[in-house]
Structure 1
């Protein structure tokens, strides 16, 4: 269910997407509100689930995670009946940053990050390939990153 957002809400969200560390006073000043109404809007956006959480984004390469792999997963016929079991297994792997259910020729798309290709190979053979129900894994290694953002396009 979507939430109705006015121009102030959208400006507040745009600022928070770029820098969640801004104080309520800084946000209020930039959007043209006083601090109290701005704080109430932020609290409402949190209560309504528009703002899920505020986090610090890390540069994966600076902390030694140089390899990014996109894995397309096809489950066998029996595996399809256990989509929930597969999803739970993916939630347990810290290397899997994203897991999406797809329509089409494959069932899932994973975004996996590891230190290097050897670490991905270990992850593949020691963890991913042991998950029950997997028929096929197509691993696609990303050579470079052109665009990566967490900012959603606001109207």
Structure 2
């Protein structure tokens, strides 16, 4: 990847609906070579998929909670059950396995605390958890799906 690929990625991360002709113009290519670069980025898995980002407030899930989970079980069977549980609960939108005192960090979006309580009950009904600690986000200061592209190794001219 080179600086042109980086520019393409930056543009598409900002708006994946940009016409190829516009992307090509902004990166200094004609349409066909630009399309080939985008296709290669997709084929190589750099661009994983293109999605619509939904305003969670407009679809009535304005509350974000960060839920720290600790477990005393680390058997593969438990992990498989945990993975199935998080896949089955759409309110759980992100899950990270961590080092340190907390085993997993979940980001959950819901309409209100009652909805979170229902999610919590579905979770503990499905898997054994040693400790669950929830924090309600008060204000979103920054949210982006774009990753920095400044670290891309320059391998082409």
Structure with larger RCO (C-alpha < 8 A, sep 6+): 2
Q: TM-score, normalised by structure 2?
A: 0.91
TM-score normalised by the chain length of structure 1? 0.92
Matched, 1:144 2:139: yes
- Which residue does the alignment assign to 1:56? 52
Shift >3 Å, 4+ stretches: none
Identify the match of residue 109 of structure 1 among 105, 109, 112: 105
Identify unmatched segments of 5+ residues in structure 1. none
> How far off is 1:60 after superposition?
0.4
For the residues of structure 2 that align with 1:149 and 1:7, how far apart are their CA atoms? 22
- SS of the counterpart of 2:33? helix
Residue from 74, 81, 93 that aligns with 1:80 = 74
In the TM superposition, 1:3-22 aligns within 5 A as 5-22=1-18
Deviation (angstroms), 1:129: 1.6
Root-mean-square deviation (CA, aligned residues, Å) is 0.9
Residue 66 of structure 2 contacts residue 134 of structure 2 at CA under 8 Å; is this kept in 1? yes
Q: Residue 89 of structure 2 contacts residue 119 of structure 2 at CA under 8 Å; is this kept in 1? A: no
Contact kept in structure 2, 1:65 and 1:114, CA below 8 Å: yes
Q: Secondary structure of the equivalent of 2:130?
A: strand
Ranges in structure 2 where 5+ consecutive residues have no aligned partner: 151-157
CA distance in 1, matches of 2:64, 2:87: 17
Contact 1:80 1:133 in 2 (8 A): no
